[in-house]
Amino acid sequence: MMTIGKYSFGIGDRFAHEGVNQLKALLKVEQEYGVHFVPVWNKSNREHTIVGTVPMETREEADAAVAALGYKDQYFVDADHINLNNVDKFIDACDFFTIDVADYIGKEGSLEERFLPAIKEAGKIYRHICEKKGEGNFVTEVSMDEVDVAQTPEELRYILREIAREGIPAQTIAPKFTGRFNKGVDYQGDLAQFEKEFEEDLQVINECIKEYGLPENLKLSIHSGSDKFSIYPIMGKLLKKYDRGIHIKTAGTTWLEEIIGLSVADADALALAKKIYRQALGRMDELTVPYATVIDVHVDELPDPDEVDKWDADKFARALRHNESDPLYNPSMRQLLHVSFKIAAELKDEYIPALEKHADVIGKQIADNLGERHVKILFNK
């Protein structure tokens, strides 16, 4: 069976330009701290649809980054949040499949009534992928995080037991945790409660591996894991305590770092970033509704675009950069731009050349954000 390493990071980006910079960041952490993170390039069907790309372009980005850096270890391309309606377009390009069955979880009834339909659907999707790719030729994740209520230890135990009975060799599992995992900003919730739930989930995983014969490397997967700085040290401490791995998806933050990089690159690039913000503000409902469950944008906190046009590069970048100690940091503006990559896609004749022109400036933003501000703090470095 194809198995994924102990620690893995879901990377990737909306416009397939930052693969080398992301891989450089992971390799720098490994060189400095001796901790290897398997890169997993991921992009969901929704993101492909919005940007106008296809999964094979993500594969090409990953392969190109690996070749450019002479990387010899394992890496994957993730079909992120797929279902039976869209999985086929990912078959050839991907070797990691995030099977999303949250929509099949019931809100009432017994454990069987609430969760068994979701597990049966996961089994159906898993077997469909097997028919296309062959058993053992991909990594399987089961995702149940996009629901309203966190699963209890009893519920997670039931889910894992039924996953085993269904014959799904899940190597990662994405449960729901209490609190908000909003796009592009820190975890919103009770840190003590998160720590309790995360530890209980690790305990359940350890027990279920022994009891139900699930893969030995089964690990938790954290979705919308980018920018959740307050929970990283908690997770790192508990992963060490229970000797378990982790998979963290962080692709979304890359696009924001591109915008920050553009804003400080030169006057024309700053003007483009301001143009994207102005259009985003004018189309806010269109852009935010699909992400309503994972953003909290407060309209009264969004600066007027005429005022933003007067900002210098430093002020624009500081408003977007995730630094809660900076009085200029604006989480509502950051979240709005997080879901506004559709505008950049529409402006691709301006946006892509700008990315390429300022690749060095943007690349430093990308690498520092992923390596210094994400991966290292997982182990309190």
| Alpha-carbon span 334 to 339, nearest angstrom | 9
The verdict on pTM exceeding 0.85 is yes
Q: At a CB cut-off of 8 Å and minimum separation 6, what does 128 contact?
A: 84, 87
Q: Can you tell me which residue has the tokens 């699963």?
A: 151
List Cα–Cα distances, 59 to 15, 76, 93, 103, in angstroms: 13, 9, 6, 28
Find the angle CA(135)-CA(147)-CA(59) to the nearest 5 degrees: 40
| CB atoms closer than 10 angstroms to residue 228 | 22
| Alpha-carbon span 141 to 246, nearest angstrom | 12
The Cβ-side half-sphere exposure at 73, using a 13 Å CA radius, reads 14
How confident is the model over 264-278, as a mean pLDDT? 98
pLDDT tens digits for range 94-113: 999 999 999 999 999 999 99
pLDDT tens digits for range 3-41: 999 999 999 899 999 999 999 999 999 999 999 999 999
Q: At a CB cut-off of 8 Å and minimum separation 6, what does 325 contact?
A: none
Give, as one character, the DSSP assignment of residue 52: T
Residue 79 DSSP SS3? strand
Residue 137 DSSP SS3? coil
- The rounded percent of the chain whose pLDDT value lies above 90 is 96
Q: Can you tell me which residue has the tokens 């519920």?
A: 155
- The rounded percent of the chain whose pLDDT value lies above 70 is 100
pLDDT tens digits for range 185-197: 999 999 999 999 9
The pLDDT-based confidence of 381 (bands split at 50, 70, 90) is: low
| Alpha-carbon span 355 to 280, nearest angstrom | 19
